[in-house]
């Protein structure tokens, strides 16, 4: 089963990446899962043009009019059993880059070939905020709304409610430590919630896969 992990941060090696890596550690040594990571900081990602090209002009090897980094990601999503989206919190919501990525998933809602392709795949949301009350819940809810629009199954964690939520400052108070860049690692509850999301993604993906096999 393939798990596609999306890092929506534009900061390579930052707190979002650290949280996502910790979550994906849930799959270490589990031969059932093939993990495919995408870092939006290192790919060309254009915003959706709302041109409606995908509604009637898709071809088997071309899902969107635009030919950018999504051309590589689309087939991986088609083949995935689960998707984990990790984003920083910007101005009380998900990052613009992550929003652009989600907007480009419109091809799986309206595409003449790819419509409904994400149905019954499992989605998990992760978010990192600098301080408390900065928009973690709003960010996770926005990602989960995208999963709902795509008819996906949302992986709610055993630790937390909407997804994996962590702070990149000490105790979420905006405090720092000199020389320490990855303070998300100090948020034990946040790290545990991210790992819980990954576990739930794997649990639900395995159950859905077993159900599909039973129907064959």
Strands 164-167 and 122-129: parallel
Greatest alpha-carbon span in the chain: 57
Q: How far apart are CA 39 and CA 87, in angstroms?
A: 11
Contacts with 38 (C-beta within 8 Å, 6 or more apart), sequence order: 4, 5, 6, 7, 69, 73, 76
pLDDT in tens, 96-105: 999 999 999 9
pLDDT in tens, 113-153: 999 999 999 999 999 999 999 999 999 999 999 999 999 99
Is 86:11 a contact under the CB 8 Å cutoff?
Answer: no
Q: How far apart are CA 139 and CA 144, in angstroms?
A: 9
- CATH code 3.40.50.360 for 2-215: yes
């Amino acid at each position: 089963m393939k798990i596609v992990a999306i890092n929506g941060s534009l900061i390579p090696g930052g707190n979002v990446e650290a949280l996502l890596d910790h979550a994906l550690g849930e799959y270490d040594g589990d031969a059932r899962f093939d993990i495919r990571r995408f870092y939006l900081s290192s790919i060309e990602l254009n915003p959706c043009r709302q041109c409606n090209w995908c509604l009637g002009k898709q071809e088997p090897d071309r899902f969107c009019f635009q030919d950018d980094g999504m051309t590589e990601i689309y087939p991986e999503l088609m083949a995935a059993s689960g998707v984990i989206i990790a984003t920083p919190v910007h101005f009380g919501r998900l990052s613009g880059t992550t929003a652009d990525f989600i907007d480009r998933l419109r091809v799986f809602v309206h595409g003449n070939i790819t419509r409904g392709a994400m149905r019954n795949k499992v989605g998990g949301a992760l978010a990192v905020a600098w301080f408390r009350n900065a928009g973690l819940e709003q960010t996770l809810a926005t990602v989960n709304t995208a999963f709902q629009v795509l008819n996906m199954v949302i992986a709610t964690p055993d630790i937390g409610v909407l997804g994996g939520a962590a702070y990149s400052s000490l105790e979420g108070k905006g405090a720092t430590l000199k020389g320490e860049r990855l303070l998300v690692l100090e948020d034990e509850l946040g790290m545990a919630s991210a790992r819980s999301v990954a576990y739930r993604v794997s649990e639900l993906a395995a159950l859905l896969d077993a159900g599909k096999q039973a129907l064959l």
